[in-house]
């Protein structure tokens, strides 16, 4: 060990000596001046570009060895307990309570009185009972009329609904009383002497009883039956029994929707208008079936069907069998923006004394009632949305009707002795004619927001009659503009403006011992502007006001039947629960 240490020490001393010897040698570098004749200019050959992916020239290639991985899963006990999340809540406005019942009371100009009450009671969500009572009356409001022009209507309805899992049925009944006056006498009869002879008052009574039933998960979908008796105060009466039902009939793996209709009508007028004529009697039994097959293909919906009807005539009504087309369809051209639709349909319309009296309460109790055969109603239209808030609908149609009912002014008598109250040219009959009607209708609706809705509608009519000179009392133009506003808080308001164009009627005078005289009269078109508004005092009580015929126009709705002028009606509505 000691000798080795000596060798190491000797080697170190020797290396130090060599280093010192070289350090002491004389420097041979001399100082010279270098003259640069030309600056150095590098060339492209002096550099090389490193490739993005260099070529590896190596004979030695290392082969990767396969490695097997084994994971030893060892469960680890954790004492971490996460905190339960808490859903964020949104503050909502308190919803206004909904009440099932209400009562309305209002008073207005021309001694107008309005009253309404509606009550309903729910029975454990499986049934309910409801009742509705309303009364509206107004007295002596038309200028320059000697006869009483007041009217009154009273309506009472009740219904009971029972609900089961797969079945819902209901019973309903009611009575409607309407009181009117034949005050629209011609100018030559409009005086105090004639007024003392005439009692123009007449009334209508409408009593009905019926029921409805609807099924779930069965081929029979629904059914409705109603029995109605309609009569006036002068012994005219009418019975009308109507049943309608809907069923889906399975045929060759397809379902055919089928509507069934059964109607029985029987009635008799109380008088004949012309002396010596027979009193009109009418009646029939109508059976109709309308099967329809629906085809859906992408944007196309097509309903193809037919209506079969058989009428068994009674009394003055003839028996006949009818076949009508029943084809409708629609096609979405551009989603909800442009939808084209059309149809070619026909039907047999069961006219009734009640329908005519509701359309014109100044008809005489001498009407002859017969059905209207609507041979076809061909129409094409387009509807859709311009924006999310603006929608439109345009439709053109051409309709052919046989025995269409038209209101026509009854004749007056030059001999005024012992005349009935409706024989002074102040009542209307129904005449029947074959009429073809061309109609164009346009609609535009704006839902500005949930509080404001506006719209307008315009219709043009052109009539072609067969026997009659004109389509009596039918306008050639009808237009309306409406708007409704409901504030978020208390206020609500609405407006309605409508226009009805010119109509034609015929005045006839039966002269004693001479020829009768007739004269076509033109009823001028009229406009009517109505406004309404109200304020919700609290959740239960609200006040309202209605302004009708603001333009104060004394227009004629029917010949010689002027309407009341500017009208005001104000009242309150109270909502409640039992």
Domain span at residue 490 reads: 110-210+271-280+315-576
Q: What burial letters (b/e) apply to 381-399, b meaning 16+ CB within 10 Å?
A: bbbbbeeeeebebebbbeb
> Please, what are the averages of pLDDT over each run of 10 residues along the chain (578 residues)?
47 47 47 57 53 54 64 61 66 72 96 96 88 94 88 96 92 97 89 87 96 92 96 94 94 88 95 88 95 92 96 86 96 94 96 96 95 96 93 97 96 85 94 97 92 94 96 96 89 95 94 85 95 93 95 92 94 93
CA 491 to chain centroid: 24
**pLDDT of res. 193:** 84
Q: How far apart are CA 372 and CA 350, in angstroms?
A: 7
Q: How far apart are CA 2 and CA 570, in angstroms?
A: 134
Q: How far apart are CA 191 and CA 20, in angstroms?
A: 158
Predicted TM-score (pTM) of the model is 0.81
Judge residue 423's burial from the number of C-beta atoms within 10 Å of its C-beta, 0-12 exposed, 13-18 middle, 19 or more buried. buried
Per-residue CA distances from 163 to 78, 100, 122, 125, 184 (Å) = 57, 18, 11, 8, 50
**pLDDT of res. 10:** 52
In 3D space, the residue among 568, 558, 291 whose CA is nearest the CA of residue 425 turns out to be 558
**pLDDT of res. 1:** 45
**pLDDT of res. 513:** 73
**pLDDT of res. 197:** 86
82 is a domain residue? no
Long-range contacts of 376-380 (CB under 8 A, 24+ apart): 376/324, 376/325, 376/344, 376/345, 376/346, 376/400, 377/343, 377/344, 377/345, 377/346, 378/342, 378/343, 378/344, 379/342, 379/343, 380/340, 380/341, 380/342
- Cβ contacts of 163 within 8 Å, gap of 6 or more: 125, 126, 127
Judge residue 354's burial from the number of C-beta atoms within 10 Å of its C-beta, 0-12 exposed, 13-18 middle, 19 or more buried. buried
377 is a domain residue? yes
Per-residue CA distances from 202 to 149, 154, 268, 343 (Å) = 11, 14, 17, 42
CA 386 to chain centroid: 18
544 is a domain residue? yes
149 is a domain residue? yes
Mapped onto helix, strand or coil, the DSSP state of residue 22 is: helix
DSSP code of residue 45: G
**pLDDT of res. 575:** 94
15 is a domain residue? no
In 3D space, the residue among 574, 498, 568 whose CA is nearest the CA of residue 543 turns out to be 574
18 is a domain residue? no
Residue for token pair 């009383």 = 177
DSSP code of residue 424: B
Q: How far apart are CA 447 and CA 454, in angstroms?
A: 7
Q: How far apart are CA 552 and CA 352, in angstroms?
A: 34
Q: Compute φ and ψ for 503, nearest 5 degrees.
A: -130, 160
3-state secondary structure 186-223: CHHHCCHHHHHHCCCEEEEEEEEEEEEEEECCCCEEEE
Q: How far apart are CA 111 and CA 224, in angstroms?
A: 40
Residue for token pair 């059964």 = 262
Q: Compute φ and ψ for 118, nearest 5 degrees.
A: -130, 130
350 is a domain residue? yes
Question: How many separate domains does the chain show?
Answer: 1
CATH of the domain at 547: 2.40.170
2 is a domain residue? no
Q: How far apart are CA 145 and CA 139, in angstroms?
A: 12
- Find the helix or strand (DSSP H, E) in which 3 lies: helix 2-23
């Amino acid at each position: 060990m000691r000798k080795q240490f000596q060798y190491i020490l000797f080697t170190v001393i020797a290396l130090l000596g060599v280093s010192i010897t070289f350090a002491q040698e004389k420097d041979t570098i001399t100082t010279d001046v270098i003259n640069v004749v030309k600056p150095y200019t590098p060339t492209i050959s002096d550099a090389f570009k490193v490739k993005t992916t260099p070529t590896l020239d190596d004979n030695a290639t290392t082969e990767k060895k396969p490695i097997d991985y084994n994971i030893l899963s060892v469960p680890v006990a954790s004492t971490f307990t996460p905190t339960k999340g808490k859903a964020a809540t949104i503050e909502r406005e308190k919803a206004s309570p909904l009440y099932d019942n209400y009562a309305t009371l209002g008073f207005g100009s021309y001694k107008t009185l309005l009253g309404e009450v509606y009550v309903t009671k729910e029975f454990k969500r499986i049934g309910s009972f409801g009742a509705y009572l309303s009364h509206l009356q107004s007295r002596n409001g038309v200028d320059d009329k000697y006869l009483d022009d007041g009217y009154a209507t009273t309506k009472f309805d009740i219904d009971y609904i029972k609900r089961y899992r797969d079945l819902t049925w209901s019973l309903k009944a009611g009575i409607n009383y309407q009181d009117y006056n034949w005050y629209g006498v011609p100018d030559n009869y409009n005086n105090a002497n004639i007024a003392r002879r005439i009692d123009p008052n007449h009334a209508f009574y409408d009593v009905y009883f019926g029921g409805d039933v609807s099924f779930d998960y069965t081929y029979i979908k629904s059914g409705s039956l109603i029995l109605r008796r309609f009569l006036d105060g002068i012994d005219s009466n009418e019975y009308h029994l109507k049943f309608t039902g809907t069923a889906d009939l399975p045929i060759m793996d397809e379902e055919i929707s089928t509507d069934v209709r059964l109607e029985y009508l029987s009635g008799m007028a109380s008088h004949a208008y012309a002396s010596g004529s027979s009193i009109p009697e009418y009646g029939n039994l109508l059976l109709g079936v309308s099967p329809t097959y629906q085809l859906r293909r992408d944007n196309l919906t097509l309903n193809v069907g037919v209506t079969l009807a058989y009428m068994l005539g009674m009394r003055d009504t003839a028996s006949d069998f009818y076949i009508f087309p029943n084809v409708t369809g629609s096609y979405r051209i551009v989603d909800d923006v442009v939808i084209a639709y059309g149809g070619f349909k026909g039907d047999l319309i069961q006219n009734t004394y009640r329908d005519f009296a509701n359309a014109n309460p100044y008809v005489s109790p001498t009407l002859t009632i017969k059905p209207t055969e609507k041979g076809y109603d061909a129409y094409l239209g387009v509807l859709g949305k311009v924006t999310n808030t603006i929608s439109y609908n345009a439709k053109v149609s051409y309709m052919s009707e046989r025995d269409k009912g038209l209101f026509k002014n009854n004749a007056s008598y030059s001999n005024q002795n012992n005349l009935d109250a409706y024989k002074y040219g102040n009542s209307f009959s129904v005449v029947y004619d074959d009429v073809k009607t061309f109609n164009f209708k346009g609609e535009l609706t704006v839902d500005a927001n949930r509080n404001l809705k506006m719209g307008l509608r315009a219709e043009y009519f052109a009539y072609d009659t067969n026997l009659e000179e004109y389509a009596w009392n039918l306008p050639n133009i009808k237009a309306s503009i409406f708007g409704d506003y409901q504030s978020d808080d208390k206020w609500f308001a609405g407006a309605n403006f409508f226009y009805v164009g010119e109509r034609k009627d015929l005045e006839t005078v039966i002269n004693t011992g001479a020829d009768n005289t007739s004269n076509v009269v033109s009823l001028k078109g009229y406009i009517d502007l109505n406004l309404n508004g109200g304020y919700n005092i609290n959740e239960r009580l609200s006040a309202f006001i209605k302004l009708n015929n603001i333009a104060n126009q004394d227009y004629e709705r029917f010949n010689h039947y002027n309407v009341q002028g500017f009208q005001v009606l104000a009242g309150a509505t109270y909502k409640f629960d039992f």
